[in-house]
Chain A
Amino acid sequence: MMDSYLGDELLVETNHEVLRHLENCPACRNELAARRGLLAQMRSAVKGMPEVQLNQAFAIKLRNNLRETALRPSIWEKLKSGGLSGTRVLAATTACLLLMTMFGVVWFNQSSPAENIAAVGENQTNKPAEPSRPTESPVTQAIQIAWREMTHLAVGDHKNCALHFRLEEEPITLKKAAEKYGKFNKDLDKTVAASLSEIFPEKQTGETSGKIQIFEAHSCVFQGRRFAHVILLYRNRRISVLVTEANFPVETDEEIFSEATEGMLAARFRTARHAVFVVSDLTAAENVTIAQKLSPAIRRHIEQSETGA
């Protein structure tokens, strides 16, 4: 209670009681005086410790920093007084807009597929389009990437060999290619020629330009990939039938897929170890029909060449 009395923490009534007691009790008065003395000595001793003294340089620095913060003009005042120049405001706004546009473009690109895999001739043909798979396994994704790469090469070969010859390496005959690069090359043109009558049978009579015929057949290389290349001619347009070795796993070898890419239509199908492309700038339906009609013969041709029959 004596300490609380010294600390002035007692209720008024209790305080009076203590005072009354002290008047008649010398022992308590002495004790109180001793405690008061100790308190005073402790205060001066603690407050006088050198380690608790404030460094004046620090105090001045802190005061100046605080003053600067307190009196710093607001952004509104800077704008009002022209402290922020128009050019700086304009630059900041432009930068913000530019950033927003960039984010928008990135977002848009991510949300739409890189390659537009079009369902072929929705109303003209009932060929199956590549089904959309929301959750694709890594293997499927890898196969799709391989297909994309190979389709790019097939379309490139069609453009740089069938349409405008710009290949670095001279094409070789299918016969020579059969010896060096696989028996499937041999007589591929003949196999294709034999099936030509089945393509567009209703148009094979009449004017010659409507006839589909073989223009050229060879083996050529585009960007390191070798293709057995049969060029067909239909209505003065060139169609490439390209066969190449494909070593990635077969996903489905029954279906024919078609996509519009790099300004061309590419229909494709697979056998166990080969990929076959029909590339042209005809309509999607026509392009797929060519692939569809040629596929049994080409599949058989490749199969026979592999078994050595």
Chain B
Amino acid sequence: MRSAKHYYNVGRGFSKRKLNMFGIGGSKEREKEWAAFEAEALPLMADVFRVANYLARDRETAEDLTQETFAQALKSFHRYTPDTNCRAWLVTILYHLNSKRKYKLGQLKLVEDTEEQIAETVAFVPSIPEELKDEEILQALEKLPKAFRDVVVLTDVEEFSYKEVAEFMQVPIGTVMSRLHRGRKLLRQQLTEYARNFGIVAEG
């Protein structure tokens, strides 16, 4: 059990940070807050931009999203618990902003249908061929339906946990797991086809 002193300190820290958010805190508090932000959040800019790029698939929009994400993160930095997963926190903001952007553009749509269709097409789990080129992997990834590709990229490439991905996408964790399972299967199927075409894997 945590001591009363701990809660007292947490309370003090929080109120100071909150005051700072309203621009009431002094310059020292602001500098301290900026130093924390600079140390924890800013080094993750490349990661956030990469995820923004997967989402937007265009550099300009990805840069806009990154900028908005960090501006929002700076504003809400008092809500971030220090030494927790800052990368996941930033990507949650990014996903939220991206949904807002899509909603404005009228692009927000559900993906359940695709999921069901794809489920039927995945029949077996092929083993992974050896000696694949990077381009082949990227092409195979590109061919995945977006809902699956996003989950595969976030989990296998960006190494976010299922729970974190579920929070980003605002879907149940089970949905993430099923999309991931199907996405991986599809990816392997795709890669086996490449390998077969290039004679890496024997037919049959």
**Complexed CA–CA distance, A53 and B162 (Å):** 25
**Complexed CA–CA distance, A34 and B50 (Å):** 26
Whether the pair B138, A45 counts as a contact (CB closer than 8 A) is yes
Please give the distance in Å from B74's CB to the nearest CB on chain A: 6
Flag whether A47 is at the interface (Cβ < 8 A). Answer: yes
Whether the pair A74, B23 counts as a contact (CB closer than 8 A) is yes
**Complexed CA–CA distance, A123 and B162 (Å):** 88
**Complexed CA–CA distance, A71 and B70 (Å):** 15
Whether the pair A52, B53 counts as a contact (CB closer than 8 A) is yes
Q: Which of B53, B59, B67, B137 contacts A42 (CB 8 A)?
A: B137
| Size class of the contact patch on chain A | 35 or more
Whether the pair A63, B42 counts as a contact (CB closer than 8 A) is yes
Contact with A along B75-113 (1 / 0, CB 8 A): 000000000000000000000000000000000000000
Whether the pair A69, B71 counts as a contact (CB closer than 8 A) is yes
Chain B contact residues: helix, strand, loop or mixed: helix
Whether the pair A70, B128 counts as a contact (CB closer than 8 A) is no
Whether the pair B59, A51 counts as a contact (CB closer than 8 A) is yes
Whether the pair B27, A71 counts as a contact (CB closer than 8 A) is yes
**Complexed CA–CA distance, A55 and B66 (Å):** 12
Q: Which of B31, B34, B134 contacts A41 (CB 8 A)?
A: B134
Whether the pair B42, A46 counts as a contact (CB closer than 8 A) is no
- Chain B residues in 8 Å Cβ range of A43: 156-157, 159
Closest to A73 in B: B27
Flag whether B63 is at the interface (Cβ < 8 A). Answer: yes
**Complexed CA–CA distance, A54 and B62 (Å):** 10
Whether the pair A45, B137 counts as a contact (CB closer than 8 A) is yes
Closest to A70 in B: B34
Whether the pair B137, A9 counts as a contact (CB closer than 8 A) is no
Flag whether A3 is at the interface (Cβ < 8 A). Answer: yes
Contact with A along B54-66 (1 / 0, CB 8 A): 1000010001001
Contact with B along A31-60 (1 / 0, CB 8 A): 100110111011111111101111100110
Closest to B63 in A: A58
**Complexed CA–CA distance, A74 and B38 (Å):** 20
Whether the pair A74, B34 counts as a contact (CB closer than 8 A) is no
Find the residue from A52, A67, A76 having the highest chain B CB count within 10 A: A52
Whether the pair B157, A46 counts as a contact (CB closer than 8 A) is yes
Contact with A along B138-166 (1 / 0, CB 8 A): 10010000000000010111010110000
Whether the pair A44, B134 counts as a contact (CB closer than 8 A) is yes
Closest to B132 in A: A41
Flag whether A114 is at the interface (Cβ < 8 A). Answer: no
Chain A contact residues: helix, strand, loop or mixed: helix
Q: How many contacts A-B (CB < 8 Å)?
A: 100
Whether the pair A54, B24 counts as a contact (CB closer than 8 A) is no
Whether the pair B23, A9 counts as a contact (CB closer than 8 A) is no
**Complexed CA–CA distance, A65 and B63 (Å):** 14
Flag whether B37 is at the interface (Cβ < 8 A). Answer: yes
**Complexed CA–CA distance, A59 and B37 (Å):** 15
Flag whether A66 is at the interface (Cβ < 8 A). Answer: yes
- Chain A residues in 8 Å Cβ range of B181: 3
**Complexed CA–CA distance, A55 and B53 (Å):** 12
Q: Which of B25, B37, B157 contacts A47 (CB 8 A)?
A: B157
- Chain B residues in 8 Å Cβ range of A51: 53, 59
Please give the distance in Å from B96's CB to the nearest CB on chain A: 18
Closest to B49 in A: A54
Closest to B188 in A: A38
Flag whether B203 is at the interface (Cβ < 8 A). Answer: no
Whether the pair B74, A69 counts as a contact (CB closer than 8 A) is yes
- Chain B residues in 8 Å Cβ range of A52: 49-50, 53-54
Flag whether B184 is at the interface (Cβ < 8 A). Answer: yes
Flag whether B130 is at the interface (Cβ < 8 A). Answer: yes
- Chain A residues in 8 Å Cβ range of B70: 62, 66
**Complexed CA–CA distance, A79 and B127 (Å):** 70
**Complexed CA–CA distance, A71 and B33 (Å):** 9
Flag whether A77 is at the interface (Cβ < 8 A). Answer: yes
- Chain B residues in 8 Å Cβ range of A9: 161-162
Whether the pair B138, A46 counts as a contact (CB closer than 8 A) is yes
Question: Which residues from chain A sit less than 8 Å from chain B, CB to CB?
Answer: 3, 7, 9, 31, 34-35, 37-39, 41-49, 51-55, 58-59, 62-63, 65-67, 69-71, 73-77
Q: Which 3 A-B pairs have the closest CB atoms?
A: A74-B23, A45-B134, A70-B34
- What are 8 A-B contacts with C-beta separation under 8 Å? A9-B162, A39-B156, A45-B135, A46-B141, A47-B157, A49-B138, A52-B50, A70-B33
Given contacts A3-B180, A43-B159, A62-B66, 12 further A-B contacts (CB under 8 A): A7-B159, A9-B162, A34-B128, A46-B141, A52-B53, A54-B45, A54-B66, A62-B67, A67-B34, A69-B71, A71-B34, A74-B22
